[in-house]
Amino acid sequence: MDEDRETEIRELVERLDRLIPREGAHLTIPSEPGGRGTVGSRLGYLRLGVELLLAALRPLPASEEAPARIEPALHELLTQGSDAPFALCEVDESIGSRPPVRSGLGALGQLAAAVLAVAALILLFIGGSVVLRWILG
């Protein structure tokens, strides 16, 4: 992105930051993976957007401990018991040219793979015992 465009975006985000108050802006994001969806006030959702924009305009450089990343300031926005969903927001400018990520097996696929693995071990054990009986008489 060129410098003029970034300056214009920065000015717009700073204006949004002034227009959308922090008071009354609340979000509850479940800390459990299977928890209910996010609940928040309209101001909470607006502040979430602004905080993400502000963080994206001031990315943190890569270091030995962490990749280049953004860190949105959400601590004042989240209600007690919420979990920040943005523990690591890695910045990767080449993400658009990478092949799509394949999804894993999922819960049902993992269960089926485990059952097949156990069945294969049982068959191997039975086959081994038959071979041993045949050899030892």
What is the distance between the alpha carbons of residues 81 and 19, in angstroms, rounded to a whole number?
28
Angstrom distance (rounded) from CA 14 to CA 53: 10
Q: What is the pTM of this model?
A: 0.65
Strands 39-40 and 27-28: what pairing?
Answer: antiparallel
Beta strands in the chain (DSSP E): 27-28, 39-40, 69-70, 89-90
| Region of residue 60 (left: phi > 0; alpha: psi -120 to 50; beta: else) | beta
Q: Which of 12-26, 70-84, 90-104, 122-136 has the lowest mean pLDDT?
A: 90-104
CA 67 – CA 61 distance, rounded (Å): 7
Task: Work out the angle at residue 52's Cα, subtended by the Cα atoms of residues 48 and 54, and round it to the nearest 5 degrees.
Answer: 115
- List pLDDT tens digits, range 57-110: 999 898 888 888 888 888 888 888 787 776 678 887 777 777 766 656 677 777
Output the pLDDT for position 35. Answer: 63
CB 58 within 8 A of CB 71: no
The pLDDT of 29-47, averaged and rounded, is 82
For residue 57 the two structure tokens come to: 């305009």
Q: What is the C-alpha separation between 29 and 41, in angstroms, rounded?
A: 12
